[in-house]
Amino acid sequence: MKKFLKNKKIIIYVLIIFFVILLVAILNNNFKIIEKITNGRLQNADEETEEQPLISYQVYDNSDERKIKTLVNVNDNSGIEYIEYPDGRKLETNNKTQVSIDYEMTKDENYKFKIKTVDNEGIQEQEVCINDNFINDNVVSIENLSQENGYKVIDINKKIKLDGYKIYYKIGENETWVEFKQKLGLMDYDLKTSNLINEDETISISAKVENETTKNVVSLTKKYNVSTNEIKNSYEAESILEALEKNNINTGLYNLTAKDETYSLRVYSFDGDLNIKADTSLGTEADVATATEYAQNMVVLKVNGNLTIDEGVTLTAYASKNGYGGPKGMTIYCTGTIANHGTVNMTARGAKAVGQNVYLWKNTDGTYEYVPAIGADGGAGISGAPSGSAITFRSNGKNGTNGVNRQTGGGGSGSIYNIGWASSGSGSKGTAYSGGTGGGAVVSSNGTNRK
């Protein structure tokens, strides 16, 4: 009898352990199901799982507007009996809960799909039209974030839900595509000077997403009005700042004479506050030097109000595409407060130009605050040859002189690495529009000197 009771207790213990293991397994499986449903995270009791729409559309190529390639997705948890195409054909779907089909559509035309689901006695219908608004809302969007007249901040966003697509943009109808990395700051005046605007005085901003593997492309173009008012005039004043302060200088190109110097100013004028929200450069190729001509204009930003430069944003002058530097300086004239949370940068913007005294302001005692036409001296060239048992002569160049009283600095002289006797080039003096250029270095190979 005692043995029987002992065996009975063992059986009970085994059953208890078995049921505990079974309960743990059931709970673990349920948690895995919940995790799968909620995309890898456990859902709170008051959260709702996002419900898929009955039908959705994803355009993945609109290079041919008569055959826009569209992925049509149909979802219903009760099951889908059939899908009726706009042309009347039916696709029997055997009560699947999700079906995706390819369908070609023509731009701006309406298409009606009919869906019969298991739990709905009626037929559900939905109409779609693939137009520019649809592309902007669902594939790639273009938006102007600026409210200021004469200045645009263009942001482009990829909304397509398919992988493998990159964003590109172009400014103007005939320009080349460039990969989009960040917001674009555009001055209307520069768009006009660069001959990018359309005959109706608008600018075309185009964006596209392109699949690198399949080469499928979805593109969108928007037009924005451009302020094309431009004034060309001549003024005489005691200084540049006096001319900007006392004269009604609006956006345009001006010849300004101060004392015995004449300057050409390309002015960007804003009445009211200006917020620079994206990297912005002032000027175009028309302002900078070429292989045969000097730089033409100084660029001037005039703000009759407050100027704010956002964090992480750079305001600068245009730089030549061919390596000839920038315009003849950049001036910022602001009647209110300048809040610079970003960067004002003129690195590598020195102009290829003849120096002038740049008269900024005339003091009450008749003296001037100005940038001298001639900058500081350049570093002197160096000479030398190997001595003693040395095979080569090596020496760094000399620094140019630092500028004083608003002078630009002189250029450094060239270095030497030579077998025989050699002399390096001297650095040049600075000008009002650029620091001095560096002197040529000397390197020898097999007894031949090269500068």
Per-residue pLDDT at 19: 63
Determine how β-strand 314-317 pairs with β-strand 280-282.
parallel
Domains and CATH numbers, the chain: 55-130 (2.60.40), 135-225 (2.60.40.10), 231-368 (no CATH), 372-446 (no CATH)
Per-residue pLDDT at 46: 47
- The whole-angstrom distance between residue 449's C-alpha and the CA centroid of its chain comes to 45
Q: Would you tell me how many other CB atoms lie within 10 Å of the CB of residue 270? A: 19
Per-residue pLDDT at 357: 95
Per-residue pLDDT at 440: 82
Predicted structure pTM score:
0.78
Closest CA to 286 of 321, 250, 330: 321
Q: What is the pLDDT of residues 78-88, one digit of tens each?
A: 999 999 999 99
Per-residue pLDDT at 423: 80
Cβ 112 vs Cβ 125: under 8 Å: yes
Per-residue pLDDT at 43: 37
Per-residue pLDDT at 175: 86
Closest CA to 345 of 278, 295, 398, 279: 279
Q: What is the mean pLDDT of each run of 10 residues along the chain (451 residues)?
A: 53 63 50 33 44 92 97 95 95 94 97 95 94 97 94 96 95 93 96 94 97 96 90 89 88 93 96 97 96 96 97 97 96 97 96 95 94 90 76 82 90 81 83 88 60 51
Cα dihedral sign for 230, 234, 236, 238?
A: positive
Cβ 346 vs Cβ 433: under 8 Å: no
**Distance (Å, whole) CA 256 – CA 13:** 103
Q: What is the pLDDT of residues 327-340, one digit of tens each?
A: 999 999 999 999 99
